[in-house]
Amino acid sequence: MLHKVGCDHGEEGELRTAPKGHFVVYVGKDQQPKRFVLPLHCLKDPNLHRLLQDAAEEFDNFDRQRRIVLTCDVASFQRLVTSLALHP
């Protein structure tokens, strides 16, 4: 399923694709979730894996625009991403 999340449409309709070896998730509970591009190795992290499982249970992994949306706090997710960057 992750091969579909690398692509999405930007605000002006342009196609945005994640770089090779990366995937895209959207984080936040509001109408404009924040877009994150993460390297594939992050999928090994148990905390991120749990967030993805929660999204799968809640939204069947995708919102109406076929994006992975994690409904956690953006600041908390940024701390997780920073931790992953420090310990790949």
pLDDT (tens digit per residue) in 27-75: 987 778 899 999 998 999 999 999 988 888 876 555 566 778 898 889 9
- Are the C-beta atoms of 27 and 70 separated by less than 8 Å? yes
Task: Please tell me the predicted confidence (pLDDT) of residue 64.
Answer: 60
Domain count, the chain: 1
Task: Please tell me the predicted confidence (pLDDT) of residue 12.
Answer: 46
Task: Please tell me the predicted confidence (pLDDT) of residue 62.
Answer: 54
Task: Please tell me the predicted confidence (pLDDT) of residue 59.
Answer: 65
Tell how far CA 26 is from the center of its chain. Answer: 4
Who wins on pLDDT, 11 or 81? Answer: 81
Q: How many CB atoms lie within 10 A of CB 24?
A: 19
Torsion of CA 61, 65, 67, 68, to 10 degrees: -40
Boundaries of domain holding 49: 40-88
- Is 31 inside any structural domain? no
- Is 73 inside any structural domain? yes
